[in-house]
Amino acid sequence: MWVQLIIMFLVLLSIGFTARIILSNLRGNTTHNASLEVEPKPITDRQILQAAVEAKGSLTATGLCLKIDMSIEEAQERLEQMHKNGTFDIQVDDLGNIRYELRDKNLLH
């Protein structure tokens, strides 16, 4: 009789846990699957330089955003960082657009 009660308790307990997981998924709470999510790879300087070369040495933040999957804000920040480290010069065109001009023109040949 005790064995039957213990088995019944374990069965009810496992049903409860299973129901909790199912309800959690239905509510959109997938915290138990967080370890399965893949982190996006960070954008490399090489990718930005390649985009600049493809654009004949002149990029805007919006142009970079179109070439590489990144936000405009991130594109502005990265181009500004690369300007500060000497990779790009900043120019303002006739329309008022901020353009980042590649300093190393040898990359364009």
pLDDT tens sequence for the chain (109 residues): 766 766 665 555 567 656 676 666 677 655 555 556 777 788 899 999 999 999 999 999 999 999 998 999 999 999 999 999 999 999 999 999 999 999 999 999 8
Contact between 37 and 77 (Cβ < 8 Å) = no
| pLDDT of amino acid 12 | 57
H or E element that contains 59: strand 58-59
- Does 40 reside within a domain? no
- Does 103 reside within a domain? yes
| pLDDT of amino acid 53 | 96
In total, how many domains does the chain have?
A: 2
CATH number of domain containing 93: 1.10.10.10
Domain range for 50 is: 45-108
Q: Tokens at residue 87, please?
A: 């990779």
